């Protein structure tokens, strides 16, 4: 299931534009807290976990099934890292170092 299909073109484009403006920060996805089942809130977090900014977009379809699938994919990825002896912290450090080296 692709996020673009769940949100629809307008909401997805808005989210991607916002994410591009948050370069260098981690992005956390959560279901919006306003009881709208189609709402997705993205939160930009600094490396130390502190809040930077957020955006809520409203898509064409309920967001919870996508969030559950995305979470399962992240869990699978974390398990793959673990099986290779790589901690999530080590991966994050390497990923951030690599990303910042490109800029």
Specify the pLDDT at position 102: 39
* Residue-level pLDDT, tens digit, the chain, 103 residues: 899 999 999 999 999 999 999 998 999 999 999 999 999 999 999 988 899 999 999 999 999 999 999 988 888 888 888 898 887 777 765 554 443 333 3
Domain count, the chain: 1
C-alpha dihedral over 93, 78, 46, 56, to 10 degrees? 150
Do 25 and 18 touch, CB atoms closer than 8 A?
A: no
Mapping DSSP onto H, E and C, the string for 18-81 reads: HHHHCCCCEEEEEECCCCCCCEEEEEEECCCCCEEEEEEEECCCCCHHHHHHHHHHHHHHHHHH
Domain that holds residue 44: 3-102
């Amino acid at each position: 299931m692709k996020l673009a299909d769940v949100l629809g073109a307008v909401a997805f484009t808005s989210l991607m534009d916002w994410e591009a403006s948050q370069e260098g920060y981690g992005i956390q996805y959560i279901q919006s807290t306003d009881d709208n089942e189609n709402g997705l809130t993205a939160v930009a977090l600094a490396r130390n976990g502190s809040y930077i900014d957020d955006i809520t977009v409203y898509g064409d379809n309920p967001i919870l099934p996508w969030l559950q699938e995305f979470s399962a994919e992240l869990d699978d990825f974390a398990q793959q890292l673990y099986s290779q002896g790589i901690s999530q912290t080590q991966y994050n450090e390497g990923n951030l170092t690599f990303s910042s080296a490109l800029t």
